[in-house]
Homo-oligomer: A and B are copies of this chain.
Amino acid sequence: MLGTMAAERLPMPAPTPDAAPSTVGAAPAGKTRRRAGRPVARVLDQNGITTAALELISAKGYDGLTMAALAKSLGVAPSALYNHVSSKDDVLLLLEDHLAAMVDVSAFGTEPWDVAVRKWAWSYRDVFSKHTPLIPVIAVLPVANAPKTLAMYEAVTAGFRDAGFPEERIISAIVALEAFVFGAAYDVNAPEDIFDAGSLADQVPNFTAAVDRLAAEGHAMPTNVAFSLGLEALIAGLGALRQ
């Protein structure tokens, strides 16, 4: 649908040995002026676009990820991007799939089910907590457009099956865990004073007392306490479905 599936692995025309793997025809941004017309060597590809987008995000955040800024960092005109992606959403999809490959599924098949789920969920949350603007895209994304995401699901599904999960419950269990992971990824970015009721504190005494009691425990990352609490409940509850 979005036309982003083809991996575009085509032979590079005499690749310069010192070039970064994702840099194709190259020309460092804004060095020499390219004249109009098709260039002799292709300048862009989806890999390079993805890498440049990640660099831009890590430097300027998602607010800095505009098609214009992305094009500039690649040394092309904004319109050139549309030869390789169909829209900005398509760029987000490329990012999502790249990140999915960084989620740790290695423990499925080598470690007990609960250990593997725990590793996977923490890793999944950590990766996407730095990329929450992708969550609305992922949560609704047909997997057919994201091969690495699909590979992640395959590893997790196999782990669940081998652990004795009834096959007709596996997808639902994964969806439930993912929902928790995505919500928790937002929570990581919440400001410290998110639960400070301010001047309304005396109108919500139970809430304020509970917030204070948690604060008194002095956890470095209270978001991790909540994540652990919920994840362990899910692991215990879902694990009981195994037979």
Cβ B226 vs Cβ A194 within 8 A? no
Instruction: Report B-chain residues with C-beta under 8 Å of the C-beta of A135.
Output: 136, 186
Closest to A217 in B: B168
Residue from the list B186, B200, B210 in contact with A182, Cβ < 8 A: B186
Chain A positions near chain B (C-beta within 8 angstroms)? 132-133, 135-136, 139-144, 147, 150-151, 153-154, 157-158, 160-161, 167-173, 175-184, 186-187, 189-191, 193-200, 203-207, 209-211, 213-214, 216-217, 222-223, 225-227, 229-230, 232-234, 236-238
Query: What are 9 A-B pairs with beta-carbon distances under 8 A?
Result: A135-B186, A167-B210, A167-B213, A168-B213, A169-B214, A169-B229, A176-B229, A232-B237, A233-B237
Nearest CB on B from A226, distance (A): 4
Report the separation of the CA atoms of residues A230 and B171 in the bound assembly, to the nearest whole angstrom: 12
Chain A contact residues: over half helix, strand or loop, or mixed?
A: helix
Cβ B210 vs Cβ A157 within 8 A? yes
Instruction: Report B-chain residues with C-beta under 8 Å of the C-beta of A141.
Output: 194
Instruction: Report B-chain residues with C-beta under 8 Å of the C-beta of A150.
Output: 197, 200, 203-204, 207
Cβ B226 vs Cβ A140 within 8 A? no
Q: 3 tightest A-B contacts by CB? A: A233-B237, A176-B230, A179-B183
Cβ B200 vs Cβ A144 within 8 A? yes
List 19 additional A-B contacts (Cβ < 8 Å) besides A179-B187, A182-B186.
A135-B136, A142-B191, A142-B193, A143-B197, A147-B200, A154-B205, A154-B207, A168-B210, A169-B229, A171-B195, A171-B210, A171-B226, A172-B214, A173-B226, A176-B180, A232-B237, A233-B234, A236-B236, A236-B237
Cβ B195 vs Cβ A226 within 8 A? no
